[in-house]
Amino acid sequence: MTPFTERAQNMGLDDSMSYKGLYTYEDRYGKLAYRPLCAPATPVDDANGSHPTDAAPSTLLGIWTALPGSQNYNYISYVSQIYKFLGNATLADRLRNSLEEVGSPILRIATHLSSDLAKFREEVILQSSQSSPQAGDIRPVMIASNSYDGTRAATVGFGIAVDGGEIIGDTIFGFSMGEMRMVHIESSTTRLTSGINQYMQVFNENILEMINMSFNTQLTQEQMFGTLDIIEKYGKKRRARISEILADLQPAPREGETPPLPSAWNVFLAIARYCALEPNLNMKRMLENIAESVLVVPTRMFEVLEELQKD
């Protein structure tokens, strides 16, 4: 594969200072610099003499990030020469332009960045909605995700926003199914707009069925505790908090009656509500995958999302 340094300009990086091994990028979300890592050179007057590895070039590129307008760069990690860069704003704008082309008005946008600015997630909530007796207003969501440290490929995914009212606010959830990876995003606008159109159609036709089926599917005790046990692997406090949210969602039993086991929808919603407040973007994604596993997804919806994900 062509080395990173030879692909930098085509990937949207500023290579005007490539002579000093510096490749930079800046947009409304932050600033970024990649530089090859190497061993320091030995001073000429070093009494211990030189070593064969002095100033040895590395196949790795160090990553430094900074807030917009700041010169305070922080080293965060490294990537290999085969890493494929895509700017956050490039990805976000490509999604917004495709939504405009499709004719899907945007209601609001929520942007999330990791503390080191290396990971990015932008949730675009659309104005169209479906209303469910069990869940209230449900809106389609498009989710752009990216990373500058190679831990996650650039994707555009699909999800839902559940209206929780003024106190709780939106609960935004992203499916792992149907994510369109960089190869699709970069290939053509047509591929992305086609994917959005397909999701909007399946959302309008199947989302209420998914909610209804999940609401009417009661989990077994084994399924419920199995799900909570998986969550506990990521921290006992997370399990405890999600259990509290689940208890609040459950209807109060009549006096003397044993509380019923929760529906698949309530378990999903409890995890999704916790995810909405999870600051760690990697953890948010893992918990979303667990929430997705309890949903009852209609066959047609599953088939469309699976098809969108194919390379």
Taking only the tens place, the pLDDT of each residue in 232-254 is 999 999 999 999 999 998 877 66
User: Is 54 strand, coil or helix?
Assistant: coil
Rounded Cα distance between 116 and 74, Å, is: 8
User: Does the structure show a pLDDT above 70 at 76?
Assistant: yes
Taking only the tens place, the pLDDT of each residue in 150-167 is 998 899 999 999 987 666
Mutual angle of helices 189-215 and 88-102, in 10-degree steps: 80
Rounded Cα distance between 241 and 307, Å, is: 35
User: Does the structure show a pLDDT above 90 at 109?
Assistant: yes
Rounded Cα distance between 306 and 178, Å, is: 5
What pTM does this model have? 0.89
At 49, the pLDDT band (50, 70, 90 cuts) reads confident
Mean pLDDT value across the chain = 89
Q: Which two tokens stand for residue 10?
A: 């085509």
At 276, the pLDDT band (50, 70, 90 cuts) reads confident
User: What are the counts of helices (DSSP H) followed by strands (DSSP E) for the chain?
Assistant: 10, 12
Do residues 23 and 8 lie in contact, with contact meaning Cβ atoms separated by under 8 Å?
A: yes
**Residue 32 backbone dihedrals phi, psi, to 5 degrees:** -145, 145
At residue 168, the pLDDT reads 66
Of 212, 145, 228, 147, the closest CA to residue 179 belongs to 145
Question: Which comes out higher in pLDDT, residue 183 or 108?
Answer: 108
**Mean pLDDT, residues 131-158 taken together:** 92
**Residue 229 backbone dihedrals phi, psi, to 5 degrees:** -65, -40
Partners of 171 in the β-ladder: 162
Partners of 31 in the β-ladder: 26, 66
Strand 106-113 vs strand 130-132: parallel, antiparallel, or unpaired? unpaired
User: Does the structure show a pLDDT above 60 at 311?
Assistant: no
Question: Which comes out higher in pLDDT, residue 16 or 165?
Answer: 16
Rounded Cα distance between 86 and 27, Å, is: 12
Distance, CA of 176 to chain centre = 9
**Mean pLDDT, residues 84-106 taken together:** 94
User: Does the structure show a pLDDT above 60 at 1?
Assistant: yes
Percent of the chain with pLDDT over 70: 90
Rounded Cα distance between 203 and 126, Å, is: 12
Length of the chain: 311
Other beta carbons less than 10 A from residue 35's beta carbon: 17
User: Does the structure show a pLDDT above 60 at 172?
Assistant: yes
Residue with tokens 């990373």: 147
Question: Which comes out higher in pLDDT, residue 78 or 45?
Answer: 78
CB burial readout 279-291, b (16+ within 10 A) else e: eebeebbbbbebb
In this structure, which amino acid lies at residue 232? E
